Amino acid sequence: MSYRHIDVQPIAGAIGAEIAGVDFSRDLADEVVAEIRRAWLEHLVVFFRDQDITPAQQVALAERFGEPVEYPFVQGLADFPVITPIVKLPEETVNFGGLWHTDTTYQQRPPMATMLYALEVPPCGGDTLFANCYLAYETLSDGLKALLDPLTGVFSSHKGRVVDTRAARVKDAPKEPNVARIAEHPVVRVHPETGRKSLYVSFAHTTCFKGWTEAESTPLLDYLFEHQTRPEFTCRFRWAPGSIAFWDNRCALHNPINDYHGHKRVLHRITFAGQETG
């Protein structure tokens, strides 16, 4: 695709592109927003460097692409509750969300997208991996596609060790942090904007297939989790202060790598309202 107002450079063969030529501290023209959205839909996750924005500017930026919503398990900033601080302190050994997932699929309307802005990062480490769930589905055998196409997945906020990844922050949760949230979504999700099918399960939140026991579901889910994150489906992003990542939760997984013990990492996250998946 060609772009008139931005420069788009893919960072891997499967997913991800860096976009240059925009300054988010200034108002964006509608045609620039449209081109960013087009690049985002094409590459699933887009990255921006050297941005310097306030929380108010981050919220205003997010509102150009969707509706920011509050995260249920961690208190947002006092003046900007839709901004969730993503923090790991030097003395902590567990990082927030540190496993493969797409955000909050335990909600009936899981978020369309996530925007993450880096304020403070370690001198090395703390990269984030992303994986293309379109390719994960498209590379399955026809037989397995036929099995999965009609299935519904059960998603939980309290599956396994995902609870541990938010334990350090959950003390500030706005409401009922110990109450599990459960939702059901198609295992094969049709993207509402592109029409493409993606493999919509994740290690963090998918517990079983509807109508199957967890014991029956586990062998197939384990295969799908491994298949989704094959290296050729992924990209890796190295953060710097002022970096922004903006990804599509409907067709991409992400995994923040926990390899920077003894250092502080602070980012501001906004998630966007989504829609029913069925």
- Number of Cβ atoms within 10 Å of the Cβ of 53: 18
In the set 43, 103, 205, 248, the catalytic residue is 103
Q: Distance between CA 70 and CA 269 in Å, rounded?
A: 10
Contact 215/153 with Cβ under 8 angstroms? no
Of the residues 43, 101, 205, 268, which is catalytic? 101
Q: How many CA atoms lie within 13 A of 272 on its CB side?
A: 20
Q: Does residue 101 have an active-site annotation? A: yes
Catalytic pick from 169, 205, 254, 268?
254
Is 261 marked active-site?
Answer: no
Q: How far apart are CA 54 and CA 62, in angstroms?
A: 12
Alpha-carbon distance of 278 to 210, in angstroms, equals 13
Interacting residues of 87 by C-beta distance below 8 A, sequence separation 6+:
96, 168, 169, 264, 265, 266, 267
Q: Is 236 a catalytic residue?
A: no
- Which 8-state DSSP code applies to residue 101? B
Catalytic option among 169, 250, 268, 269: 269
Q: Are 68 and 272 in contact (CB under 8 A)?
A: yes
Is-catalytic flag, 103?
yes
The residues carrying an active-site annotation are 101, 103, 254, 269
